[in-house]
Amino acid sequence: VETADGSAPALSLLLPLDAGAAGSYWRAPSDSTNVELAIVLGTLSIVSGIILLVSSCGYSTFDIPI
């Protein structure tokens, strides 16, 4: 996954919400039109949930995530 200049690395998406600096988050490059993300667990794991927070910046009212 490509990363915008000044962005945290893509692996920061896997950190708990309270980890890292408040303004430290992953951003796609401004010229990206879409991003695909796959999370594959290498071994049997206990995962209680995954949340992907998406900013509405750059989305129109027709394609904003729900």
Domain ranges of the chain: 1-66
Q: Is 20 left (phi over 0), alpha (psi -120 to 50) or beta?
A: left
Please report, for residues 22, 27, 28, 43, 45, the alpha-carbon distance to residue 35 in angstroms, rounded to integers and kept in the order given.
Answer: 23, 10, 8, 25, 25
Q: Assign 3-class secondary structure to the chain.
A: CCCCCCCCCHHHHHCCCCCCCCCCCCCCCCCCCCCCCCCCCCCCCCCCCCCCCCCCCCCCCCCCCC
How does pLDDT run along the chain (66 residues), one tens digit per residue?
Answer: 788 888 888 888 777 767 766 667 788 888 888 888 787 878 888 877 777 666 656 555 565 555
pTM for this prediction: 0.52
